[in-house]
Chain A
């Protein structure tokens, strides 16, 4: 069995440098790689490009990197919950590439699966289509979108084993599986790291071949953005 385990987050992020492009899993604050983000803040890498559906909130998630002005460019679908983000974007300090959510997911999947590009109807006739090839299939219009190219993918899973096999939980799955194997190096952090043989192969969501480094994460905050409840 090929061992993917690293002992801590510092080892997991070895090789991270200024100017790199990173994919980060998560939807809102759900399923984000909290440990990797903290380490990126600690390392202080600058001029980075982050591919992530959202940009965190002002004081958590990718918002932490924004506050340190570490991010040069964000590729996201929705950035509504972050005032600092909006400020940096409107002032021109931050470059932003807004991408339809399904296209964002598929650009990750294409990179994972070795497709250079794909056609999608999303964004046809809008700003998103500007400068992109347009083609008609069966009477419907599509635009050509290219696969992402990234140096590192940082993903968060619920359980994983030392061979890099991953299982996700609830809607914390979101973009994480799509980003595995979609960058040169995929780093998975898990809430529970188990020895090989403990995960039922039938239940594995992402096979270890898509993961280069895995480590046991710690101190997960798992913040809730909108706590909504009903009466009994």
Chain B
């Protein structure tokens, strides 16, 4: 079974040379730590920077330089700043190659819910609805089940949706799955995790073709 850093490490393998990548808050943010150093990748943060760098060295924090998670960051050589409308033109106009974000639920047809629990938690969608509505390549980083052990990969989402039919790939602590027209196709299992365990933790339709290989991370 993977921890959060393990999920990030596996997702980092999906990041290819020349990609502009938008990373969501939480596990997705960790992906930047594991991207191969021999490829060129630029990270976009939707509050208005392309070419986002690591956290600043202590004492060099700049209140005018943050990421979408409101964390202090740095800008790499070649970076640029822009306004929010331009930022979402990059996203809506499909100039960003890969979007990685978290989810509370994903359905077998690729619907995603991650912004609201009615009556309990309403933090808002931020840029998530714009991202999932437009991105061609969306990877969801999430735990396979919630804290109560209930499935988060469902036939249909129970929470208010963020987007419909948009998720392409999911990496969880247990597995890598692809969203197909027929359901969740199990591509890989996490080290030490059996196919039966994945079946038991998944509510939506799970497709298993032959032997499922173990992730290499």
Contacts and interface: CB of A to CB of B under 8 A. Distances in A.
Most central of A98, A171, A173, A227 by chain B CB within 10 Å:
A171
A2 interface: no
Interface string A42-64: 00000000000100000000000
The DSSP consensus for interface residues of chain B is loop
B173 to A, nearest CB: 24
B72 A228 contact: yes
A83 to B, nearest CB: 12
Nearest to B160: A127
Given A77-B125, A121-B133, A174-B47, A225 B83 contact: no
Contact of A170 (B57, B81, B119, B133): B81
A76 B84 CA distance: 13
B170 interface: no
Contacts of B83: 105, 168, 173-178, 205
Interface stretch (A6-14, A23-31, A146-154): A23-31
Contact of A126 (B48, B124, B161): B161
B209 interface: no
B54 A226 contact: no
A126 B49 contact: no
Bin the interface of chain A by size. 35 or more
A171 B122 contact: no
B64 A101 contact: no
Contact of A30 (B56, B63, B122): B63
Interface stretch (B6-14, B86-94, B140-148, B182-190): B86-94
B78 to A, nearest CB: 15
Interface string B106-133: 0000010001100100111111111001
A123 interface: yes
Contacts, number: 187
Nearest to A124: B133
Contacts of A209: none
Contacts of B92: 102, 120-122
Interface residues of B, number: 55
Interface in A213-232: 222-232
A100 B58 contact: no
A117 interface: no
A122 B129 contact: yes
A206 to B, nearest CB: 9
A174 B125 CA distance: 17
B65 A171 contact: yes
B64 A31 contact: yes
Interface string A147-168: 0000000000010000000001
Contacts of B129: 100-103, 122-123, 126, 128
A80 B124 contact: yes
A105 B46 CA distance: 11
21 contacts: A27-B47, A27-B70, A27-B84, A29-B63, A86-B122, A90-B119, A100-B125, A101-B126, A105-B83, A109-B85, A121-B134, A123-B129, A125-B111, A126-B160, A171-B65, A171-B67, A173-B48, A174-B83, A228-B55, A230-B55, A232-B57
Given A102-B46, A222-B64, 14 more contacts: A28-B66, A77-B125, A78-B124, A98-B125, A101-B126, A102-B92, A103-B130, A121-B133, A126-B129, A170-B62, A178-B84, A225-B71, A227-B71, A229-B56
